[in-house]
Amino acid sequence: MSATHTWNDAATANGAPADNKGQVVPTSAVLKGDGSTTLTFVITGATGNRGNDAPLAGLEGGKLTLTVQSDSATPSGTTRINVACGTAGQPAIPSRVATSIRSPSFVLTLSF
């Protein structure tokens, strides 16, 4: 599993750091007992990728790209639901994507 974060043009024009202030992306990854993983990306605030405790300005944003691979023991033909749920000071609205696994060695890249 790997992840990247890139700023949109508005954030870049307003000085968002290209290197995400040297922060690791994602901020944390926790493998849960049910086989799922919780990823946390801290974008703003004192420890966020935006830097200098800066909030996002109007139209600022970016793209998170996740590259994941199913467990090698997953049978071919299995369908898994990938759930992405983000919050930005508002209630979270999850996005669900059904993924059919045809080969456990398949690598999937998702961009949000």
pLDDT, tens digit, for every residue of 62-85?
A: 887 877 777 777 787 787 777 776
* pLDDT classification of 9: cutoffs 50, 70, 90: very high
CB atoms within 10 A of CB 49: 23
Q: What is the mean pLDDT of the chain?
A: 74
Q: How many domains does the chain have?
A: 1
Task: List the beta bridge partners of residue 100.
Answer: 79
- pTM beyond 0.75: the answer is no
Q: Which tops the pLDDT comparison, 95 or 91?
A: 95
Which residues have a Cβ under 8 Å from the Cβ of 92 and sit 6 or more positions away? Answer: 85, 86
